Amino acid sequence: MTEHWMRARPDTVACRVDGRRRAETLTYGRLDELVTQAAARLARAGVTAGTRAAVMIPPGRDLVAVVLGLLRLRAVPVLVDPGLGARAIGACLREAAVEAFIAVPRAHLARVVLGWARDSVVATVTFATYALWFGRVRDRLRAGGPPVAAAGPQVSCADDLALIAFTSGSTGVPKGVPFRHRHLAGQTGLLARLGALEPGATVYSTFLPFAVAAPAIGCASVIPRIDLRRPERTDPAAMAGSIAAHGVRGLFAAPALLDRLTRHCERHGQVLDSLEIVLTAGAPLPFPVLRRAQRCLPARAEVRSVYGSTECLLVAVADGAELAETAADTVRGAGTCLGAVLPGNRVRVIGITDEAIPRWSDDLVVPPGTVGEITVAGPAVSDPYLARPRESALARIDDGGEAVHRMGDLGWQDERGRLWFAGRKSERVRTAGGELYTDQVEPVVNEVPGVYRSALVGVGPLGGQRPVLCVECEPGMSRRERRDVVERVRAAAVAGIGHVLVHPGFPMDVRHASKIRRPLLAGWAARRLGGGER
């Protein structure tokens, strides 16, 4: 689709790249030149249709040119989260059987030293504005280099493999998710149903794949400066400045980053006047963050929480009015409203089990209002995981040839068909008296004055776990004030839980600052309770 906009509107802005000193603006015409140059040089290096090419380039115009150049050649970009760590990155590249390694010099050096994909890589390409590294390089790509022969776009079949993205490893094991061109087309169609990201809009996305893909739907994408290994360190002042400077109409960010951005704006009395739509994803949007965001936005702006996963993006969406309407139910323990299922998706809630389900049966479905595991079938559901048959068997159900993806999330549907989130299946607390679900407990605790955030964890053997509420207090509290918070939480007696522990700062997933690392927190709680502390 990018080629359409390059031909139709060559003088229209396609990307704005935030640099260290200034932003760089790329029109569709200039982007076409960079993509053509990248595609031609990649082809000269041996990259052809179907070549699996790992891309390890920081955010910027080089990354955009390489990814779009690979897609133009019908090669398969392999996107690996650089925050996973050296060992996990090596495993991902091995599972993807990458044949080309396109990276900055530092990543090339790591590949050589650590032996990443030693047996499969046949083409190596350095892409950097300036580069000096020691090792065999098949070709060197330099932005703004001399002209080379053009590489024209190739025609793709809907069933051709388009790209491979690795999950962030929230279960501890990153998994390769293969997408075919029909899956990407399905995602584009679902995105259009949000009715927000229209051609001509300027979009700021902290989800890098979306930032790179936005020009394909005619949006001017702001490529932000993000530390990919520690995205939670993204400077909220820089975000606010970039949004204002570029006149951004659409913002796409995780709830934790939106929280940091809006806290900054509140402290400085700043209103993000240009914004018309804010989309959040990666975790449910807490109502306090929504309220703060609305105070920092113009009255016309909309806030929407998008539900999905790497394996099937864009499943359901809830707007700000819906989140406000259901906030009282959330703090009464109903869970978080995920909103209406997007047309094209088929969502069904099945009974909770940790076992594989080979074939679909309607008997799996639980009655409306009953908590179970959320499943999705639709045009954007990816292929099974690469080289992981066990994980694929646990995540997929065959429904007469149609793939049904098990989200690993627990939830329920109300009488209006809206979807509600109750927590991750792997994080449910299994006590002798029944099961407790994190998102039906924590929002209730978070309403207690002085609580910044909370986490429900289980201590002990499955089926006999003791539920423990771990609480992180608002910053700057004294020891006495923290003790008072514990007493208020105990007095609330949420779900009858008596064990309450104050933690100085929850361990968080460094790549997804909204996700608490509950297994680590459960180990900490077990040690505290074992020592007699309550």
Quick one: pLDDT at residue 373? 98
H-assigned helices in 193-297: 208-213, 236-246, 255-267, 287-295
Confidence of residue 514 (pLDDT cuts 50, 70, 90): low
Quick one: pLDDT at residue 217? 79
Decide: residue 305, CB within 10 A, 0-12 exposed, 13-18 middle, 19+ buried. buried
Sort strands 123-127 and 372-377 into parallel, antiparallel or unpaired: unpaired
H-assigned helices in 253-368: 255-267, 287-295, 320-329
Label each residue of 121-178 as H, E or C: CCEEEEECCCCCCCCCCCEEECCCCCCCCCCCCCCCCCCCEEEEEECCCCCCCCCEEE
CATH of region 25-155:
3.40.50.980
Residues 6+ apart with CB under 8 A from 87: none
pLDDT at 313 over 70: yes
Residues 6+ apart with CB under 8 A from 201: 219, 220, 249, 250, 276
Note the CATH architecture for domain 428-530.
2-Layer Sandwich (3.30)
Confidence of residue 430 (pLDDT cuts 50, 70, 90): very high
Phi and psi dihedrals of 469, rounded to 5? -100, 115
Most confident of 147-156, 200-209, 380-389: 380-389
Read off the DSSP letter of residue 242: H
Helices 61-72 and 28-44, axial angle in degrees (round to 10): 60
pLDDT, tens digit, 9 for 90 and up, residues 13-31: 888 888 767 788 989 999 9
Sort strands 316-319 and 302-307 into parallel, antiparallel or unpaired: antiparallel
Cα angle vertex 17, ends 43, 222, to 5°?
105
Predicted TM-score of the model (pTM): 0.88
Phi and psi dihedrals of 217, rounded to 5? -105, 15
Higher pLDDT pick, 213 / 363:
363
Read off the DSSP letter of residue 359: B
Every domain of the chain and the residues it spans: 25-155, 428-530
Asked if 319 contacts 352 with a C-beta cutoff of 8 angstroms, the reply is no
